[in-house]
Amino acid sequence: MTYSLNDYHFESLQKTHQREIDILEKYKIVNDFLNKNDWLFISPIFFQGFELNQIFELSKKQGNHKKKITEIIARKFYYLNWTATFVDGYCSRCNHILPFLKSIEQSIILAFQKDYEGSVKTLIPIIEGILRKYLVTEKGYDNNNISYEILKKSFELIKIDIITANQERMKNFYDENKTRILFSREQLEELLKFDNEYYGTWFSFVKDFIEKSFYLNTNSKSITNEVNRHSILHKFGDDFSYDFENFIKILFVIQFLTWAFLRKEGKSLLNKINSRLFLDKLISYKNIIRISQRLNYEKHILYKDKRGYNLELLKHDFKPTIDLPLKLKHRILIALSRWFDKFLWVKGMK
């Protein structure tokens, strides 16, 4: 009886793993396609369902598709239902990301305002802060002695942590009836093969970006337009463009780390956010974008004579979309509640 129950759960897990491996094959194709079109790597939280399939179909066509890829990514980012959930639906549930919550959202708001230099330079120290905190608190490193080689190595350490944590969960597996399932050594070894293949592939995507761009050694290679933290923060390389594309590329690293640490912590990858907070964020994000668009001409006046100014960045207005899943009376109640809250807030400033 016990053996057959173990066997049942093992076979069930194997079927789930095979489905994930099949989907991963599509991710591999999409990731290679993104690389060929200068989009560096794929983010598991961002590319889901529709976006994955859309870019997968695009990969079958000949030609340069960089502009189309950018449009697909921009449409997802400016679908505010998704972006509103990222910080408080994913990051806030992740212990390793939680200390950086405010700064991550600040970078998103700066991007909404087309202050891409500010958003990029806000995100880069966050990535290093997350990695350093992990290395110090969990791996026993002295913060003063953490080199960039060690920071690059941290991605491999996180991958090993995830696989180890998964193996421990399999050794202490309980089914939905709270029955302890004891897999055999052979079964555990088979489950480990999946973890090694699955996470090995995902971390290989980000490894190329980290080693060949983000933490590329600028002493041994001249920098042109790479997304390189040293050249950006210390102003090496004149060709780097502060734009939506390069902001998103760095945001993908934050998203990848959020996904990885949620996996490590054994938490659900389903979005979870308080419904009232979600609605407030939707409205606030849309208002920030709307108000910011009115300032584009004033920014043009201030920036037009500055080196590196790109007029097209301010001319290009991304169209935000939202989906309020509420009846009209509920929307009116929320609008009144926000108006009253703002009235008290303004009154308190006097």
pLDDT along the chain (350 residues), means of 10: 74 92 92 85 83 90 87 92 90 93 96 93 94 95 90 94 92 85 89 93 89 76 68 68 90 94 89 80 91 89 83 82 72 70 68
**What is the CA angle 130-131-132, rounded to 5?**
95
- The answer to whether 203 and 211 have CB atoms below 8 angstroms apart is no
CA–CA dist 243, 252 (Å, integer): 15
b/e per residue 109-118 (b: at least 16 CB within 10 A): bbbbbbbbbb
Q: What is the 3-state secondary structure (H, E, C) of the chain?
A: CHHHHHHHHHHHHHHHHHHHHHHHHHHHHHHHHHHHCCCCCCCCCCCCCHHHHHHHHHCCCCCCCHHHHHHHHHHHHCEHHHHHHHHHHHHHHCCCCHHHHHHHHHHHHHHHCCCHHHHHHHHHHHHHHHHHHHHHHHHCCCHHHCCHHHHHHHHHHHHHHHHHHHHHHHHCEECCCCCEECCCHHHHHHHHHHHHHHHHHHHHHHHHHHHHHHCCCCCCCCCCCCCCHHHHHCCCCCCCCCCHHHHHHHHHHHHHHHHHHHHHCCCCCCCCCCHHHHHHHHHHHHHHHHHHHCCHHHHHHHHCCCCCCCHHHHHCCCCCECCCCCCHHHHHHHHHHHHHHHHHHHHHHC
C-alpha distances out from residue 38 to 14, 76, 218, 318, Å: 35, 18, 20, 21
Instruction: Report residue 315 as tokens.
Output: 């001319």
Length, in residues, of the chain: 350
Strand partners, 174: 180
Q: Residue 135 has what pLDDT? A: 96
CA–CA dist 134, 154 (Å, integer): 8
Q: Residue 1 has what pLDDT? A: 43
- The answer to whether 202 and 44 have CB atoms below 8 angstroms apart is yes
Closest to 171 measured CA to CA, from 182, 179, 160, 163: 182
Q: Residue 214 has what pLDDT? A: 85
Residue type, 106: Q
Sign of torsion over alpha carbons 58, 80, 90, 16? negative
